[in-house]
Amino acid sequence: MILAEHLHNVDRHWAVLAVGEAERDHGLKVADARLVKQAVGQQMHIDFPEDGGDDELLHRLAMAYEMAAIEGLDAFLNPTANEEELRNQCSAGAWRAFEIRRLFTLPENEIERISHLLHLSALAYCGDRWSDLRRWYNENEKSIQVPSVSRATWDRRLLYRLFECWIRLFRKKR
């Protein structure tokens, strides 16, 4: 279970601090504001000024949190008693990276879209964001559709089938 303390610790990871403390705080606020805007849609006007560099900042920040997560990935996958801190770092980094990456526009290219979705899903898995991922899937039903394999080359067919398997596993739905 991820606690506020774990998020606080990962906010002070070397990769995140390289982004800059002020930029980090601004990036997290932008992510929050975008999430609220997405949730309320046209029903309410949210006044949150953004600047042209916010997209780039969010990409950089997501990458920094993912670096923190990856540093603790081995401890997360092979849990031992004395590596709890690294395990928590992995989960908290993935939690934050998911929070940001779920706001990104989906790539139009099919392979990039699949890669983006699997990436996002993996972050949700490591970051204990199952319910948020399922909600995201439900809100983006078209995006997670598996492309037809009928005329696909064997490599694409394999990729599409693997993608389908992973989506089913993540959704926990037949």
**Residues 60, 98: Cα–Cα separation, whole Å:** 13
**Residues 26, 35: Cα–Cα separation, whole Å:** 14
**Residues 87, 71: Cα–Cα separation, whole Å:** 9
**Which 3 state secondary structure label does DSSP give 46?**
coil
Measured from the CB atom, the residue of 6 and 89 that comes closer to another protein is: 89
The answer to whether the CB of 156 falls within 8 A of the CB of 169 is no
Give the number of residues in contact with another protein, rule: CB under 8 A: 16
Nearest distance from C-beta of residue 6 to another protein, angstroms? 18
Measured from the CB atom, the residue of 19 and 149 that comes closer to another protein is: 19
**Which 3 state secondary structure label does DSSP give 44?**
coil
Measured from the CB atom, the residue of 43 and 78 that comes closer to another protein is: 78
Nearest distance from C-beta of residue 43 to another protein, angstroms? 35
Measured from the CB atom, the residue of 100 and 137 that comes closer to another protein is: 100
Q: With binding defined as CB under 8 A, does residue 28 bind another protein?
A: no
Binders in 53-92 for another protein, by CB under 8 A: 56, 59-60, 63-64, 66-67, 70-71, 73-74
Nearest distance from C-beta of residue 86 to another protein, angstroms? 9
Count of Cβ atoms closer than 10 Å to residue 91 Cβ: 24
Count of Cβ atoms closer than 10 Å to residue 39 Cβ: 11
Measured from the CB atom, the residue of 31 and 137 that comes closer to another protein is: 31
Count of Cβ atoms closer than 10 Å to residue 1 Cβ: 6
The answer to whether the CB of 10 falls within 8 A of the CB of 89 is yes
Count of Cβ atoms closer than 10 Å to residue 35 Cβ: 14
Q: With binding defined as CB under 8 A, does residue 18 bind another protein?
A: yes
Contact region with another protein (CB under 8 A), list: 17-25, 138-146, 150-158, 160-168: 17-25
Residues making contact with another protein (CB under 8 A): 14-15, 18-20, 56, 59-60, 63-64, 66-67, 70-71, 73-74
